[in-house]
C-alpha cells in the first residue's frame, strides 16, 4: 500500500483529541498548529506536571504527547507511570532529545503491553502524526 493512500485514508478518520505536555512554548505551539492543520483537536496544552492527571480526566484524550523534561523537577516517565496507573488503556507518545529515556522506560514494567512510544528529537512533523497513528492502532 503506498504512503499517499495511507495518508488520505487517515484524513478520512474522525479527528483525534490530543493533549500536549511540553514546557517549551515554541515547540508546544508548533505541534499544536501542525496537528490542528491536520484536522485534529488539541484541547489541552498543559505545561505543568501537576496538571497532567486533572487535565487528562477532564478531556480523556485519544493520545498524549509528552515531553521528557517537565517543570516542577518532574519527568515524562514519572508522568506516564501516573497516567498508566490510573488509566491503563491510555496512549502516550514521549518526544525527547534524551536518548537515555529508553533505559528509564525499561526500569518500569508498567510500560509492557501499553500503547506507548518514544520519538527522539529532532523530528519531522509528519513523523509525529505517523507515530500517533501507529500507537493508536497498536494494542
> Which pLDDT tens digit goes with each residue over 52-94?
888 888 889 999 999 998 877 788 898 899 999 999 999 999 9
Q: Show me where the domains of the chain are located.
A: 15-137
| Beta-carbon count within 10 A of 110 CB | 16
pTM, full prediction:
0.86
Instruction: Pick the closest to residue 104 from 63, 85, 45, 96 (CA basis).
Output: 96
pLDDT in tens, 21-63: 888 889 989 999 999 999 999 986 666 666 788 888 888 999 9
The topology under which CATH files domain 15-137 is: Rossmann fold (3.40.50)
Residue position matching grid coordinates 488520505? 8
Amino acid at each position: 500500500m503506498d504512503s499517499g493512500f495511507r495518508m488520505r485514508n487517515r484524513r478520512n478518520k474522525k479527528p483525534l483529541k490530543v493533549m500536549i505536555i511540553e514546557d517549551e512554548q515554541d515547540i508546544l505551539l508548533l505541534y499544536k498548529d501542525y496537528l490542528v492543520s491536520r484536522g485534529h483537536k488539541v484541547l489541552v496544552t498543559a505545561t505543568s506536571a501537576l496538571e497532567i492527571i486533572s487535565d487528562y480526566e477532564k478531556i480523556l484524550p485519544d493520545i498524549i504527547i509528552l515531553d521528557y523534561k517537565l517543570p516542577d523537577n518532574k519527568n515524562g516517565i514519572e508522568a506516564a507511570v501516573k497516567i498508566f496507573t490510573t488509566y491503563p488503556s491510555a496512549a502516550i507518545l514521549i518526544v525527547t532529545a534524551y536518548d537515555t529515556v529508553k533505559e528509564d522506560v525499561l526500569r518500569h514494567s508498567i510500560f509492557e503491553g501499553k500503547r506507548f512510544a518514544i520519538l527522539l528529537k529532532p523530528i519531522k512533523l509528519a513523523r509525529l502524526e505517523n507515530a500517533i497513528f501507529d500507537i493508536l492502532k497498536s494494542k
